[in-house]
Chain A
Amino acid sequence: MTSPSHVMSTTTVQPTALRVEEVTRTFRRKGRNVQALAPVSLSIPSGQFLTIVGPSGCGKSTLLQIMGGFDTPSTGTVTTPAGPVTGPSRDIGMVFQRATLFPWWTVEKNVAWALRCGGTGRREALQRSRELLDLVGLGGFETAYPNELSGGMQQRAALARTLSLEPSVLLMDEPFGALDAQTRELMQEELIRIRQAAGTTIVFVTHDIREAVFLGDRIVALSGSPGSIALDLAPDLPRPHTHEVMRTQEFLDAYETVWACIRDQASAREPGRSERAAEQDDQGESA
């Protein structure tokens, strides 16, 4: 189920961690069918860090929800080596846009609860919870309540909770979208570090092109609507890296390629699409 090695390799072919085949999604809105996703197919090798980037309302969040089993595709399938994805499971962990920590528990209890639900004993769950909080840089805040933490720290804790599931695939839905710019950059570097340590396959959705290019081994640009893959890029950036990489020519080239693609797609779409319509799309996606 899990890959034999977490060491990244560009030469050997990794087994597929998640396969998306001809997935479409149609919503019913105000009595009309609105297609959010055109047929999308993606094969994600084990250990890959895939970022999905696109403008608001392009269906990227919908695609992620379907990958995690939180939404059902209208047609098409999502499969893992364990079988088809029919609903949420511990094998595919999701980190949501807003940290959905339970405010009635301390941070360590939040993480321990996720472990307890998987059958881990009380004492061991608490022990493991503290280790994971240490990993995400929250050592010393174990007994804090979520509302006592900053947005970035809450997202770290939520990440620790999801990592506790030891998922074979980690899905992240604009997890840093609500953070300020500085915290965001720090979290991005942290995520790269944590990813090195945990070695999980990651699918990361964002509307921030810089973030997508910085984080992803592979960047998929979605165009809407309906969402379809406009670009599938694997730039050759040095790994692991810090924000220094943003000054390299390789980074700038990759950024320009993605930006050009999204700009072309945007200008091809009907002009004067109102903010309101885009917002509604977003809500439809996250619902």
Chain B
Amino acid sequence: MSDSVLRWTRPLAALVVIFGLWQLAGRVWTFPGYLFTPGEIARAWFASLDPETGSAVLATTLRAVAGFLIATAVALPVATVAALVRPVERILEPYIGFFFALPKISLLPLLVVWLGYSDSARITMIAVSAFFPIFVYMFAGVRGINPGYLKVASNVGASRRERFLHVVLPAVAPMAMAGVRIGVAISLIVTFAAEVVGQSPNGLGRLIQDGFSALDYDQMYAGIVMFALIGLGLDMLLRLMTRRSPGLWGEGVPA
């Protein structure tokens, strides 16, 4: 009881202290117009809660989630096959190596040339960026399956289906989830870039960029907070999914 209370109260107390000092500093010295105190940020955020911001949040979330889902849907199976089938790994290896280190955002102008200033270009950009962390984690996960698990599966005469569903999938789940969580974070980062560089007519990237052009700091701060909230929300959603099975998702998986 007191343990769980402490777990919440400690970081909360730290937050209050830090924000308090920050707020206090704003009182003591006069901050320039572009430097907000926590109170001002909160005020700006509350003031921004209107349908227009709502549609921006929705547009950004949809783009990020669409790109992320495409990346996940491609990366998980491709990584699984690459990890299990040597020739496929050999074929993919040089491309993965080349594109992994490439700042994917540098492809955006090219994508715009191909697909125009469209959501196709933006979402492709997001999907390409999120693909790599998910691929790399999933690949490592499948490769890292304890060979003992597979031996047990053959010993008990598990069918291919039982082997895949009951052994391989749960064994890679923790690594897959790690990759997916990073994929979500990357998706959001790239969504902002894709909205700004990709000349998006809507979305939080547009909102922040407009705030910047108009020197409307309130709008910029509000947009940033919204971005953080989307990221927090999506990550919490993923973590909620992993709550359901205590044995699964890495808890108690030997290193």
Interface residues, chain A, with chain B CB atoms under 8 Å away: 68, 70, 87-90, 92-94, 96, 98, 100, 102-106, 113-114, 116-118, 145-148, 161-162, 165, 287
Are B156's CB and A100's CB within 8 A? no
A102-B167, A145-B247 known; A113+B156 contact, CB < 8 A: yes
Are B154's CB and A118's CB within 8 A? no
| Cβ–Cβ < 8 Å partners of A106 in chain B | 247
What CA separation (Å) do A89 and B153 show in the bound complex? 10
Are B252's CB and A145's CB within 8 A? yes
| Cβ–Cβ < 8 Å partners of A105 in chain B | 247
Are B155's CB and A113's CB within 8 A? no
Considering only residues 197-255 of chain B, those with a C-beta below 8 Å from chain A are 245-248, 251-254
| Cβ–Cβ < 8 Å partners of B155 in chain A | 68, 70, 88-90, 92-94, 162, 165
Are A98's CB and B148's CB within 8 A? yes
What CA separation (Å) do A90 and B173 show in the bound complex? 27
In the complex, the chain B residue whose C-beta lies closest to that of A119 is: B157
Q: Give the Cβ gap from B25 to chain A, nearest Cβ, in Å.
A: 47
Are B157's CB and A117's CB within 8 A? yes
B38, CB-defined interface residue at 8 Å: no
Are A165's CB and B156's CB within 8 A? yes
In the complex, the chain A residue whose C-beta lies closest to that of B250 is: A103
Can you list 11 contacts pairing A with B, beta carbon distance less than 8 Å? A87-B154, A94-B155, A96-B152, A100-B149, A102-B149, A102-B166, A102-B167, A102-B247, A103-B254, A106-B247, A165-B156
Instruction: Name 12 extra pairs, CB < 8 A, besides A113-B166, A117-B158, A148-B252.
Output: A90-B157, A100-B146, A100-B151, A102-B167, A102-B247, A104-B247, A114-B152, A117-B156, A117-B159, A117-B162, A118-B157, A147-B251
Are B156's CB and A70's CB within 8 A? no
| Cβ–Cβ < 8 Å partners of B26 in chain A | none
B109, CB-defined interface residue at 8 Å: no
Are A103's CB and B247's CB within 8 A? yes
What CA separation (Å) do A75 and B107 show in the bound complex? 56
Interface residues, chain B, with chain A CB atoms under 8 Å away: 146-149, 151-152, 154-159, 162, 166-167, 170-171, 173, 245-248, 251-254
In the complex, the chain A residue whose C-beta lies closest to that of B154 is: A88
| Cβ–Cβ < 8 Å partners of A161 in chain B | 152, 156
What CA separation (Å) do A102 and B146 show in the bound complex? 10
Are A90's CB and B156's CB within 8 A? yes
| Cβ–Cβ < 8 Å partners of A118 in chain B | 156-157
In the complex, the chain A residue whose C-beta lies closest to that of B167 is: A102
Which one of A70, A93, A114, A117 has the highest number of Cβ atoms from chain B below 10 Å of its Cβ?
A117
What CA separation (Å) do A161 and B158 show in the bound complex? 13
Q: Give the Cβ gap from A155 to chain B, nearest Cβ, in Å.
A: 13
Which one of A90, A96, A103, A118 has the highest number of Cβ atoms from chain B below 10 Å of its Cβ?
A103
Are B151's CB and A70's CB within 8 A? yes
Are B151's CB and A104's CB within 8 A? no
A96-B151, A145-B247 known; A103+B252 contact, CB < 8 A: yes
A98-B148, A145-B247 known; A104+B154 contact, CB < 8 A: no
| Cβ–Cβ < 8 Å partners of A117 in chain B | 156-159, 162
What CA separation (Å) do A133 and B253 show in the bound complex? 22
What CA separation (Å) do A70 and B154 show in the bound complex? 9
Q: Give the Cβ gap from B160 to chain A, nearest Cβ, in Å.
A: 12
| Cβ–Cβ < 8 Å partners of A114 in chain B | 152, 156
| Cβ–Cβ < 8 Å partners of A102 in chain B | 149, 152, 166-167, 170-171, 247
In the complex, the chain A residue whose C-beta lies closest to that of B152 is: A100
| Cβ–Cβ < 8 Å partners of B254 in chain A | 98, 103, 147
What CA separation (Å) do A113 and B155 show in the bound complex? 12
| Cβ–Cβ < 8 Å partners of B246 in chain A | 145
In the complex, the chain A residue whose C-beta lies closest to that of B248 is: A104
Q: Give the Cβ gap from B170 to chain A, nearest Cβ, in Å.
A: 4
In the complex, the chain A residue whose C-beta lies closest to that of B253 is: A103
Which 7 interchain pairs have the tightest Cβ spacing?
Answer: A147-B252, A100-B148, A88-B154, A104-B247, A104-B170, A114-B156, A104-B248
What CA separation (Å) do A68 and B155 show in the bound complex? 8
| Cβ–Cβ < 8 Å partners of B154 in chain A | 70, 87-88
What CA separation (Å) do A117 and B155 show in the bound complex? 10
In the complex, the chain A residue whose C-beta lies closest to that of B151 is: A70
What CA separation (Å) do A68 and B147 show in the bound complex? 15
| Cβ–Cβ < 8 Å partners of B156 in chain A | 90, 113-114, 117-118, 161, 165
What CA separation (Å) do A87 and B151 show in the bound complex? 11
Are A94's CB and B151's CB within 8 A? yes
What CA separation (Å) do A96 and B245 show in the bound complex? 26
What CA separation (Å) do A128 and B170 show in the bound complex? 24
What CA separation (Å) do A145 and B252 show in the bound complex? 8
Q: Give the Cβ gap from A30 to chain B, nearest Cβ, in Å.
A: 19
What CA separation (Å) do A221 and B229 show in the bound complex? 66
